[in-house]
Amino acid sequence: MDTATILLIDDHPLLRKGLTQLIALEDGLEVVGEADNGTKGIELARELDPDLIILDLNMHGLDGLETLRILRAEGVTSRIIMLTVSDNDEDVIQAISFGADGYLLKDMDPVLILEKIKQAVSGEMVISDKLATILAKAIRKPDVSQKALLLNSLTSREFEILKQIAKGLTNKLIARELDITDGTVKVHVKHLLKKLGMRSRVEAAVWMLHQQK
């Protein structure tokens, strides 16, 4: 079995050291990079293309949520799980809507953290048991609807392009309107369709027009 590669992004050196030692106990896992801030983490994610990124939420400079949003906006396909002290409802919901594949708390038992990491590498969504009810409530609440979660998952540029699509503009016209290239528009459209779970720009346009009513 191939060894799964892991990148740690956390501004606490002791936490990174502890995680590295913990992960070293598992033969199929290997820490291939560490970053003490979001900017460096994004660079390493591009360079190393790890199987899994373990990302802290509260960091100096670029915080975890913004780092996560940039990683997904740039097309990083690594699985990403948040490992943080925050059990705030909004943080959990935002992280998942921005594209996180899991949300774990740092006060979990180390053995359980390792188990969750292995599950994440194998493709499972992982979340601390005490936070599962937060997500369940968010899904049921009409005010934190699928609409809000989907729109929150888009970057500001993707949202702007979605609005232009809803007006019926072509990629070429959108590019001219926003002063970017056709190719850049195509990439953004591809990403926003994937995030919205839609197959065509027409479907996205109809959906967006419905949201604006």
Helix segments in 167-211, DSSP class H: 171-178, 182-196, 201-211
pLDDT of 146 strictly over 80: no
Pairing state between β 126-127 and 79-84: unpaired
Q: Which of 199, 188, 194, 191 is nearest to 157 (CA)?
A: 188
- Of 89-98, 131-140, 152-161, 181-190, give the lowest mean pLDDT range: 131-140
Q: Tens digits of per-residue pLDDT, 71-88?
A: 998 889 899 999 999 888
pTM tops 0.75: no
Average pLDDT for 186-199: 87
Average pLDDT of the chain, as a whole number: 86
DSSP 104-152: EETTS-HHHHHHHHHHHHTT--EE-GGGHHHHHHHHH-STT-HHHHHHH
Cα–Cα distance measured from residue 19 to residue 27, given in angstroms and rounded to the nearest whole number: 14
Is-contact 193 200, C-beta < 8 A?
Answer: yes
Q: Tens digits of per-residue pLDDT, 95-121?
A: 887 888 889 999 999 999 999 999 999
pLDDT of 50 strictly over 90: yes
